[in-house]
Amino acid sequence: AQTVTQSQPEMSVQEAETVTLSCTYDTSESDYYLFWYKQPPSRQMILVIRQEAYKQQNATENRFSVNFQKAAKSFSLKISDSQLGDAAMYFCAYRKYNAGNMLTFGGGTRLMVKP
Amino acid sequence: NAGVTQTPKFQVLKTGQSMTLQCAQDMNHEYMSWYRQDPGMGLRLIHYSVGAGITDQGEVPNGYNVSRSTTEDFPLRLLSAAPSQTSVYFCASRDIAGTSGNTIYFGEGSWLTVV
């Protein structure tokens, strides 16, 4: 079975600074997807960024980028120019290539942004 | 386009009662699933469906039933509520393929308390 581990229960960052959230996963599959979701206090699940395992290039979405290390099974999220609105729970998630919408989530990292 | 709609948003149940959480999507998605999120944890898969008439168990299926009589609806039934089922429940859907094929859409969550 796949597992996803987020080793940082809480992180804090100064507004306008950069922060990196860590995620490692375990799988025997070669084709899969990795995701970072943001969950604000409203509990809405918001997709931040997605990475296809077959792509070597790291995904980027505006201020958000990932460092995908397939051999090391590592998938970290970098948030640049942090904003107060970035404060939330962040979840790393894994989906096998043909696995419908069955996601395996990590335990989450609470990000606090200091003004 | 309403997306994924969950009802009710909040519910308090007594131990032993049964109830149904409703989930409907208007995007003609084949894949639908139910997750639960316990305090301080990531989401865990309860049941999923790959199309009308087809359902299967996820990671934590005990105490729950599902059915998929139409593409649009995927209700989750709690057979005999227990305090351990106090959680936030999320319904999610995804298209099989196409331009949105890798995007999973989440409902806003249903907060269930069992006393």
Nearest by Cα to A94 from A23, A9, A21: A23
pLDDT score of A2: 83
**Residue B98 pLDDT more than 90?**
no
CA distance A92 to chain B (A): 9
Question: Residues 6 or more apart from A85 whose CB is under 8 A from it?
Answer: none
| Higher per-residue pLDDT: B6 or B95 | B6
Interchain CB contact of B90 with A (< 8 Å): yes
- Which residues of chain B does A97 touch, with a Cβ-Cβ cutoff of 8 Å? none
User: What region, left, alpha or beta, does residue A81 occupy, with left being phi > 0 and alpha being psi -120 to 50 degrees?
Assistant: left
Cα–Cα distance between A42 and A58 in angstroms, integer? 29
Cα–Cα distance between A27 and A30 in angstroms, integer? 8
Share above pLDDT 90 across residues of chain B, in percent, rounded to a whole number: 86
**Cβ(A90)–Cβ(A7) below 8 Å:** no
How does pLDDT run across A93-114, given as a tens digit for each residue?
999 988 888 999 999 999 999 9
Strands B87-94 and B105-106: antiparallel
Across A10-31, average pLDDT? 96
pLDDT score of B1: 58
**Cβ(B90)–Cβ(B109) below 8 Å:** yes
Rounded to a whole number of angstroms, the distance between the first and last alpha carbons of chain B is: 36
Nearest by Cα to B64 from B50, B53, B76, B54: B76
How does pLDDT run across B25-76, given as a tens digit for each residue?
999 999 999 999 998 889 999 999 999 999 999 999 999 999 999 999 999 9
Contact B102 A91 (CB under 8 A): no
In this complex, the residue of B45, B58, B90 whose CB is nearest that of residue A45 is B90
- Residue A19 has a CB neighbour count (10 Å cut-off) of 20
Taking CA atoms, what residue in A is nearest to B43?
A105
Q: Is B84 helix (H, G, I), strand (E, B) or coil?
A: helix
**Residue B115 pLDDT more than 70?**
yes
Cα–Cα distance between B59 and B30 in angstroms, integer? 20
Interchain CB contact of B75 with A (< 8 Å): no
Going by pLDDT thresholds of 50, 70 and 90, the confidence category of residue A37 is: very high
Strands A32-39 and A46-52: antiparallel
**Residue A69 pLDDT more than 60?**
yes
Interchain CB contact of B32 with A (< 8 Å): yes
